[in-house]
Amino acid sequence: MKVSVVGAGMVGATTALRLLEDRTATSLALIDVVEGLPQAVALDLAQSAPLRGHTIDIVGSSDYGPTEGSDLVIITAGLPRKPGQSRSDLLATNSEIVAGVTEEVSRRSPNAILIIVTNPLDEMTTLAWKASGFASEKVVGMAGELDTSRYRYFIAAELGVHPDQVDAIVLGSHGETMVPLPRLTNVAGRPLTSLLPASRVEELVERTRNGGAEIVALLPRGSAWMAPSASIADMATAIAGDERRVVSACAYLRGEYGLTDVYLGVPARLGGRGVIEVVELSLTDEEMGLMKKAADTVRSRVAALGFDGPSPDPGPLKKVTPSQGTRADERGGGLDSLRQESRVRRAVNQVLWERGAVTSDEIESLTRAVLERMQKK
């Protein structure tokens, strides 16, 4: 898979490093408007190959030519937050950057899938979809993965457990209207609400909402890059390997959760063609109200941009086979079952690809067989 990363700052450079060491890409282009920066980062990464074992081609450029024919384009370009700024404060400035970048890369790579990272995330993902003219499933935003990772870490640290024992997910917008779901959060199979008082749970939720701002306030300049790049790499791996794994991502809604014509953080199944399915969790009226509030906020900010580009046809609603279901509860479980399935899919994908190229149907068949075997035990 040919991958291009636009933006060679800390997030873009660290993402490139992770993609190289994860063997996610067969070739990688790193682009930035600052002359010399992408070339320097690319050369530095290339010189690590003898020590880290990666052998893919990597090129740095301030021209978009090397992105030609990319299968996946990751857009991190834009201004980071400063202390005291909210993500929405970056709306006007970063919208110009993202629109320009998207037009460049979509023209050169019309078959690519786009992962948007620039803040404010939900609005920039919407803008990239409009500017690219791509089908909605080919444009996805990275936010829920990061918010969920932060949430799981804060819970694990509070309770003194490994983060892998925390089953949780964060929905909604990447910002003040994100929607963590304490009611559905489990720790080693036990409900979070039975392990901590409601007041402490709310403090962890609030810390998650302000997770990025907490880091920005500690830095002399810039914003977080380690956890964001890990989240990007995880999504890229799911797409590159056609894993059809469920992650929390900013995806286009066409009726799911009662919301239409809006990009918002939801559980999304990612594979070789981008967003394959939006998984619906059973939410309470209060949680649905928070999702609607987040959607209304994103819509109003997108409208304020006044972007004149056309809205592409999102295409028909995806048809999902009855055996899959579109709701997590129809699969016989909640977040824990989704995470178990995701872990199995990742393991199956890694094992099969070590034996040579395989089809998505083979991955699907073995994943289902393993899950059925586990359920019988």
Tell me which residues are annotated as active site.
174
Helical H segments across the chain, by residue range: 10-21, 37-46, 49-52, 91-108, 121-132, 144-159, 198-209, 211-218, 226-240, 285-305, 335-354, 360-376
Count helices and strands (H / E) in the chain.
12, 14
**C-beta of residue 325 within 8 angstroms of C-beta of residue 331:** yes
Interior/surface letters 16-34, b for 16+ CB within 10 angstroms, e for the rest: bbbbbeeebbebbbbbbee
Residue 51 corresponds to which amino acid? L
Q: Strand pairing of 274-278 and 260-271?
A: antiparallel
Residue 262 Ramachandran class (φ > 0 left, ψ -120 to 50 alpha, else beta)? beta
> How many angstroms separate the most distant Cα atoms in the chain?
58
Interior/surface letters 256-276, b for 16+ CB within 10 angstroms, e for the rest: bbebeebbbbbbbbbbbebbb
CB within 8 Å of 85: residues ≥ 6 apart: 216
